[in-house]
Amino acid sequence: MKRNLATVFILIVLINVKLIGQNSNAENRIIKVDYNQTAGKLNTMFKECIGAGRANEGLRADWQQQLALTKQECDFKYIRMHGLLSDDMAVYREDAKGNPEYNYQYIDVLYDFILSIKMKPFVELGFMPEALASGKETIFWWKGNVTPPKDYKKWEDLIRNLTQHFKERYGDEEVKTWYFEVWNEPNLTPGFWTGTQAEYFKLYEYAARGIKTVNPAYKVGGPATAGAGWVPETIDFCVKNNVPLDFISTHTYGVNQGYLDEFGTSGTVLSKDDSSINGDVIKSRNQISNSAKPKLELHYTEWSSSYTPSDPVHDSYHSAAYILQKLKQVGNAANSMSYWVFTDIFEEPGPRFTPFHGGFGLLNTQGIKKPAYFSYSFLNKLGETELQNKDTSSWAAKNAKGDVQVLFWDFTNTHPGDKVWNQTYYIQDLPSQPKGIVKIEVDGLQKGKYNLEIYKVGYKTNDAYADYLAMNKPNQLTIDQVKKIKKHNNGAPILTEKVVIDAKGIYRKDFKINENDVVLFNFIKQ
């Protein structure tokens, strides 16, 4: 009997070993690249633009400090935000006789700062100044007026005067590099626009005329819609009416329910559709290609895993791999993919009462880096030349100094499905499961010594929310708690190795990976 039990035990062990071996082999990936086999210049559409909540928040010292850090480590080129013309920016009023009075002192402070850190504004023209508005309907805690102008000629005059001001302050050559986008999500009614589609097109036409009067070379576009809407209609309108259109802009989010959830109370579910995000982008690109203006630039001026500022997926380590997977899938279809947003200093539903609340930001209110932040800081470490690479969840690149970078990840959507909200699922402790071995092989390396830095984001690695969870989610963080979380999630290499490459020029390494890990190998030539 004892012998039989022992035999059974051995058989079970052998079966399990075999199954484990099969499973890990099934999951094994090979990323094989050659230093000399290039794929051209690296497409950096991922860092062309980043979002921010509203213009007035950009006057805060902590907002500016966080943007300067993000620029330094992620190198976004443009920044886009709502509310440039809203009353808290003190842009427009009328005297007793109804004559317009313009004031750009607050905009100057904001734009001077943006330019000082070598960024540029992606100018969103909205919302309606109260003195120019035809109605009282507003959106958000800060009450952005979403009604058409009471006088379209005065709207055009405001836009022309503002554009002229930009020209005089910053110079023609600078402003030629900017983008002027008319309004935000006018297809959400009620929501961001109380007018019709025809009234939006009228708003667009008057704004475009105001901009082009100052300089025909300035770039204007739209329709800045939610859910990739109105793209063919916008092009048709502009072609038929001879209205300027230099680019298309629109938005997409990776959840299944609705488009506007200001307070995050309706509940969201991360889409299981593999073509979520990239499906919209590719559709928009095809709509442009099949139109009368087939070469228009395409800018996705908002995108994220979820459209609500109360979605814990934004704080989760799952977000890092999600961002990279979606950007990789988009490929060359968009000229820019502007992640919404860089910071949780974001007050659409009002000032937030806890340090982690599912905010859109790459950084939380205290400037703690979330896992999502590292997707962009790692991307920014890639060299300017892409290497040929058949693996669909990685980038490989090199720079002029002879350094090589391999950025790879596993994206596994572990969300249990439509019956469970993100708001319930992503606030839990969610350990990641093993996904086998990734075999890294880099051929054609120059002979010599390298420092290999290995960076990682994943479950409890650069996972600030896990630390917050371990502190029992305090409603307020002390100075020491903030310091502790920042220090533990600073994005430093998890490992540094000295590597000597011989005349064969080959480097090989097997690396264990878990679900939703993001890993960067950075070979620095000595």
Active site residues: 185, 302
Whole-number Å distance between alpha carbons of 359 and 475: 15
Phi, psi of 408 (to 5 degrees): -140, 160
List 523's β-bridge partners, or say none.
404, 452
List 385's β-bridge partners, or say none.
41, 398
Under 8 Å between Cβ of 41 and 385: yes
Those residues whose C-beta lies under 8 Å from the C-beta of residue 265, and which sit 6 or more positions away, are: 310
Under 8 Å between Cβ of 380 and 74: yes
List 225's β-bridge partners, or say none.
250
Report H helices in 290-352.
Answer: 318-330
Phi, psi of 279 (to 5 degrees): -60, -45
Helices (H) and strands (E) in the chain, counts: 13, 22
H or E stretch including 243? Answer: none
Neighbours of 205 (CB within 10 A): 19
Under 8 Å between Cβ of 194 and 188: no
Residue 190 tokens read as: 């009620």
Burial of 300 (0-12, 13-18, 19+ CB in 10 A): buried
Distance of CA 354 to the CA centre of its chain: 22
For residue 237, give the 3-state DSSP assignment. helix
Whole-number Å distance between alpha carbons of 88 and 127: 11
Residue with the two structure tokens 């997977």 = 325
Under 8 Å between Cβ of 271 and 321: no
Residue 276 tokens read as: 């979520």
Query: Residue 490 corresponds to which amino acid?
Result: N
Whole-number Å distance between alpha carbons of 398 and 404: 4
Those residues whose C-beta lies under 8 Å from the C-beta of residue 107, and which sit 6 or more positions away, are: 55, 84, 89, 91, 162
For residue 141, give the 3-state DSSP assignment. coil
